[in-house]
Amino acid sequence: MPMKNLYLLLFVLAFISCKNEPKNTSEEIEKTSTEEKEVNPALNLAETISNTHHQQDFFNNEAVAFNIAINFGGKERLKGRVTMLTNSTKIKIKKEDGTTLVFNGEEVFLYPEENNYDGARFDMFTWPYFFAMPFKLNDEGTKWQEKKELKLDSTAYHSAKLTFENNVGDAPDDWYVIYADKRTHLLKAAAYIVTFGKDVATAEENPHAIVYDRYFTVKSVPVAKYWKFYNWSEEQGIYDEPIGDAEISKLNYLSADQANFDVPENAIKIER
């Protein structure tokens, strides 16, 4: 065989061999992830909401702080300032009554001891989660299903159900039904149950919903200034008059060094 033809044959064989090589692991993972999104419209909705809320811009800031005032049943539930890392791994709440709550990434602490109260651990995680919800919809351990259309005040919204894998967070049995604005894709509302301190069956007897209003923007990230809380059911959706409300104000971003999560001396640990 002439040398020229031999080189040509070797080239053809090498080309065929390269084409038949198996795809590398990263390509397979990417393909699997893409296929999952294609067959899970609920997950696609969650990612659309996260992108609309400029999730990456939010995480580009190390920490965020804001004032919060929460009322339930006509009574003040919490008033103070929340400081948290944007990935929610550390949180501090300084209440106007002098109580300080700190989550240092491992445990929850309260200071001073004489201000201890039953809902301290609930306050530590619930209100910061409601604030950060648009940025946590695709956290590790989240599961999405049941994309459909639900109405709020006669307006139709995209919706989907969020549940969690076992051992995720302080209350992995909680679930949420999120509502997204069809036009803006901003998070509009979320129905939820609270399993903290109770079983799922009991919690599901009294679901509530949070409705987000009046979005404002700081450093390109939209945040709801006002929250309202309602009763909720599968049959009626969000119904009746508000049972609670909250207001966010004086929001600013800061570095992790500027955010102090030191546990006060003589603080007590708040167990689950």
> Can you name the CATH fold of 42-270?
outer membrane lipoprotein receptor (LolB), chain A (2.50.20)
Q: Which of 1-5, 68-72, 138-142, 235-239 has the lowest mean pLDDT?
A: 1-5
How far apart are alpha carbons 110 and 268 in whole angstroms? 5
Q: What is the mean pLDDT of residues 177-189?
A: 98
What pLDDT score was predicted for residue 161? 96
What pLDDT score was predicted for residue 3? 44
| Contact between 189 and 152 (Cβ < 8 Å) | yes
Residue whose pair of structure tokens reads 């999405």 in the numeric block? 144
Residue whose pair of structure tokens reads 């049995």 in the numeric block? 173
The beta-strand segments (E) located in the chain are 63-72, 75-85, 91-95, 100-103, 108-111, 142-152, 155-164, 176-180, 187-192, 208-218, 221-233, 237-254, 268-270
Task: Please state, rounded to an integer, the average pLDDT across all residues of the chain.
Answer: 88
Would you place residue 169 in the very low, low, confident or very high pLDDT band (cuts 50, 70, 90)? low
3-class secondary-structure state, position 179 = strand
Q: What is the DSSP string of 2-66?
A: -HHHHHHHHHHHHHHHHHHSPPPHHHHHHHHHHHHHHH-HHHHHHHHHHHHTTHHHHHHSSEEEE
Q: What is the phi-psi region of residue 123: left when phi exceeds 0, alpha when psi lies from -120 to 50, beta otherwise?
A: alpha
How far apart are alpha carbons 88 and 132 in whole angstroms? 8
pTM of the predicted protein model = 0.84
Q: Domain coordinates of the chain in residue numbers?
A: 42-270
What pLDDT score was predicted for residue 197? 72
Chain segment 187-234, per-residue pLDDT in tens: 999 999 988 777 888 888 999 999 999 999 999 999 999 999 999 999
Q: What is the mean pLDDT of residues 117-127?
A: 95
How far apart are alpha carbons 120 and 101 in whole angstroms? 8
Chain segment 70-99, per-residue pLDDT in tens: 999 999 999 999 999 999 999 999 999 999
